[in-house]
Amino acid sequence: MRSASAANGNKIRPMPHSLPIFDPTALDIIARDAGPEVVPRLVGVFLRECGRRLVAVRADVAEGATERLAREAHALKSAAASFGCLRLAATASALDAAYKRGDEGTVLAGAGDLIEALDDAITTLSALHPVD
């Protein structure tokens, strides 16, 4: 499929680097709603999932598997927002939206930003809540 950006002559939009990596109020909300004792366990589950998705995204990029890359982005966008990973959520959302409008070029071009946002989210959350 030809990129809609290329077909329309549009420039690829930059990914949301200006957003903070992490907003701690999201974990405060989880603690309030589910109890503070469950936050480390839930963060651990999310971090392990991010690690698995990071491996998958890297493989998808290496293979040029745009559809699989878009599926990973779609799966990440809401979960990342729930855990306060703002840049990851916004980057994943941008790639998901690009794929839905048929712009595979933007999806592939933004894959590096998704990898960077995943790395940053994992590093930041791991520092706050070390996982066994």
Give per-residue pLDDT as tens, 64-93: 999 999 999 999 999 999 999 999 999 999
pTM for the predicted model, two decimal places: 0.86
pLDDT digits 0-9 by tens, 99-110: 999 999 999 999
Task: Please report how the helices 39-63 and 25-34 are oriented relative to each other, as an axis angle in degrees rounded to 10.
Answer: 130
Domains of the chain by start residue, with CATH: 39-132 (1.20.120)
pLDDT digits 0-9 by tens, 13-70: 445 678 899 999 999 999 999 999 999 999 999 999 999 999 999 999 999 999 999 9
Of residues 64, 50, 72, the one with CA closest to residue 108? 64
- Alpha helix positions (H), the chain: 4-8, 25-34, 39-63, 66-82, 86-100, 104-109, 111-128
| Cα(40)–Cα(43) distance, integer angstroms | 5
Task: Extract the tokens encoding 3.
Answer: 């990129």
Element (H, E) at 99: helix 86-100
Would you say 3 and 103 are in contact if contact means Cβ atoms under 8 Å apart? Answer: yes
Q: Give the confidence band of 130 by pLDDT, cuts at 50, 70, 90.
A: confident
Q: Which residues, other chains included, contact 19 with Cβ-Cβ below 8 Å and sequence gap of 6+?
A: 86, 87, 90
**Per-residue pLDDT, 31:** 97
**Per-residue pLDDT, 98:** 96
Amino acid at 35: G
Of residues 107, 113, 48, the one with CA closest to residue 83? 48
